[in-house]
Amino acid sequence: MSNSELNFLATLESIVADRLENPSRESYTASLIASGPQRVAQKVGEEAVELALASVGGDRNDIVNEAADLLFHMLVLLRNQDVVLADVVRELESRHTA
């Protein structure tokens, strides 16, 4: 994975933060956040199940699409709870053993 690809996660996280701080009616992200933390959590759960089912089906495109949906909704949930992706990365690093 390239730095450019990883950097896009940071860009997407910034976009999500902007939608939270500057909501607009046209934004799916803003409307999802406005629907409340329970709905955001529900979407994460739905997308996780859809990814799991796609993995059983074995279609690579379906897996990629569902993983993208899950990552996006996870970023929304994290930001809505005032958690940044760097917090999650630090936790993963702390669990890593050589």
| Res 75: pLDDT | 97
Four-way CATH pick for 3-95: 3.40.1190.10, 1.10.3720.10, 1.10.287.1080, 2.30.110.10: 1.10.287.1080
| Res 5: pLDDT | 82
Closest listed residue to residue 30, CA positions, set 80, 83, 96, 95:
80
| Res 61: pLDDT | 97
Mean pLDDT by 10 residues, the chain (98 residues): 85 94 93 96 98 96 98 97 94 86
| Res 83: pLDDT | 97
| Res 98: pLDDT | 62
pTM of this prediction exceeds 0.85? yes
What tokens does 69 get? 């949906």
